Structures are given as C-alpha cells and as structure tokens.
Amino acid sequence: MKIEKIGVIGAGVMGAGIAQAFATSGYRVLLRDISQGALDRGLATIGTSLSRLVAKEKMTQVDADAAAGRITATLTLEDFHDRDLIVEAVVEKFEVKKAIIGDLDRICPARTIFASNTSSLSLTRIAAASNHPGRVIGMHFFNPVAMMQLVEVIRAIQTTDAVNAAVVATVAKLGKEAKVARDSYGFVVNRVLIPMINEAINCVYENVATPEDVDAMMKLGAAHPMGPLALGDLIGLDIVLDVMEVLHAGFADPKYRPSPLLKQMCDAGYLGRKTGRGFFSY
C-alpha cells in the first residue's frame, strides 16, 4: 500500500505535532480543524517547534522552512478525498470520532487508511463505525511528538494485515519506532502509566506525602526522570481523568477508579501546565 499524501484532522498540540513529524520526513500534509483560529494556533505551534529544533541544531533553517512549506491548512473536510493516510487527533470522545469516520467514508476511496491517535478508546469500536473497518488502525503518538520515539500501533479486530504493515513501515520512515499492540482499553503505555499517576494522586489525597515528596521519592527511588504528578500536569489532568474513566468503564474493575482528588482538580480547572496550575504552579 503506497502512502504519500497525509491528512491530519485536529490542529491541537497532538495534531500539530503529528503534522510536523510527517512534514519533516518529506510528506505533504493537509492539516484540518474546525476554525481558522485553531488552524492558526496549530501552525504557530509548528513554527515554534521547528525554530526550537533549529536553535538546538537538530535541523537546519532550510530544512525547517521546507517542512513548514509541506503543510497546507484547510477548514474543508472534502479536501481529504485524495489522501492515502488520514490521522485523526481530535477530542477523546467516541461520538466525535465516530462522526468523523462517517464523514471520511463518504469522502474517501476505500483504499484510504484511517488512523486514530486515541490514547485509550477501543479501536475495534471506532473501526466498526466505518463502512470499511479493515482500514482503521490506531497510531498513538506521544507528546512532544518531535522528541518521542514511540508510536503505539493498535490493531483493531478488523484491521487487515496490509494496513498494519503499511502503517508500521510509515512509522519507520518518520524515524520513529512502531510497537504493535492488540486492541485493549488504554493499550500498553497508558494502561500502565495513567493508573500510576492516579495512585500518586491518591497518595496526596490520603495525606501520605506532599506532591513534592511523592515526585521526589519516585525520582530518587525508582529512577523516574520526572515525577508522576509533574507528568500528570504535563499531560493534562483532564486527559488523565478521561483515560482513567475509559479504563474504569471498559474493564469494570475498581482498581481503575479515578481518584476523588483528580476529579476535584479537574472540576476546579486546575489541569496542569496548560492552565498554569495543577499539582504545581507554572
């Protein structure tokens, strides 16, 4: 399966990062969001990221300019009619993803691969929303996309061998490493990582230790480069809660119950770095 033309739906932090990863690897990318303001912010994020890479001598200014020039922004989903691979990076809500799959089914030929950047939702359920479920797969990139080497490739029950092989090969062309997982709530990384962050939050909720000491203990005692609470702030505590709720509902296992303090933090709007306040101040 030949993959040359890329589409990315969603120009937020993840969508912008995914578009940049493809563009810096030589692919022409169509980036779409629902408002011009969102697109402008996404393109600005890409520009800032490319400038940082130039400043760190990870790439030349010529290469950065070339990468930026390979990205075209659009508000029109119909423009994706000729894409070989489309990566969806929208809000982590099944109904939103289902609607996008339905629209793309109408617009795209059967050969187009649909990939979701979902971090926890069932790919099998997402694939079932397509008239051609065998072309649906998960491509779970990690933030910041430019720096993180892993892409979790998630096979739905319906995903064909040809689609899986094409996506794994494409990840390699991005200079990243694909690791394939069977479809299961949270897959591997988030199934292990997010409950750890949730348990660190419970340690604070139960007054076992302060946020500073919880993180210090995990760095000093477990050799973690970043404490779990600081990592939760970086990810976004609302995202942590979303994943925990998916795990809790999907597995129906009380070990995945979101911490009451996590819920309170989200209710208060203390979501981490993006709001300036989470378990720490920014």
| Cβ 71 vs Cβ 31: under 8 Å | yes
Exposed e or buried b per residue across 29-51, where buried means at least 16 C-beta atoms within 10 angstroms of its C-beta:
bbbbbeeeebbebbbebbeebbe
> Is 57 a known active-site residue?
no
Q: Which of these is catalytic: 120, 132, 152, 259?
A: 152
Distance CA 60, CA 265 (A): 42
To the question of whether residue 259 is assigned a binding role by annotation, the answer is: no
To the question of whether residue 97 is assigned a binding role by annotation, the answer is: yes
| Cβ 215 vs Cβ 278: under 8 Å | no
| Cβ 139 vs Cβ 114: under 8 Å | no
> Is 119 a known active-site residue?
yes
Q: Which of these is catalytic: 117, 190, 198, 259?
A: 190
Alpha carbon 134 to chain centroid, angstroms: 21
Alpha-carbon torsion, ordered 20, 23, 27, 31, to 10 deg: 60
Q: Which of these is catalytic: 88, 116, 117, 119?
A: 119
To the question of whether residue 14 is assigned a binding role by annotation, the answer is: yes
CA nearest neighbour of 118 among 143, 136, 93: 93
To the question of whether residue 219 is assigned a binding role by annotation, the answer is: no
Q: Which of these is catalytic: 140, 164, 198, 248?
A: 140
Angle, helices 237-251 vs 260-268, to 10°: value is: 140
To the question of whether residue 92 is assigned a binding role by annotation, the answer is: yes
To the question of whether residue 243 is assigned a binding role by annotation, the answer is: no
> Is 190 a known active-site residue?
yes
Q: How many C-beta neighbours within 10 Å does residue 104 have?
A: 24
Question: Which residues, in sequence order, are CB contacts of 201 under 8 Å at separation 6+?
Answer: 229, 232, 259, 261, 262, 265, 279
To the question of whether residue 119 is assigned a binding role by annotation, the answer is: yes
Q: For 252, left (φ over 0), alpha (ψ -120 to 50), or beta?
A: left
To the question of whether residue 33 is assigned a binding role by annotation, the answer is: yes
CA nearest neighbour of 24 among 49, 55, 57, 56: 49
To the question of whether residue 49 is assigned a binding role by annotation, the answer is: yes
> Is 259 a known active-site residue?
no
To the question of whether residue 56 is assigned a binding role by annotation, the answer is: yes
| Cβ 246 vs Cβ 121: under 8 Å | yes
- Could you list the residues known to form a binding site for CoA, using ranges: 49, 56, 119
Known binding residues: 10-15, 33, 49, 56, 92, 97, 119, 143, 274
Which residues does the annotation place in the binding site for NAD(+)?
10-15, 33, 92, 97, 119, 143, 274
Active site residues: 119, 140, 152, 190
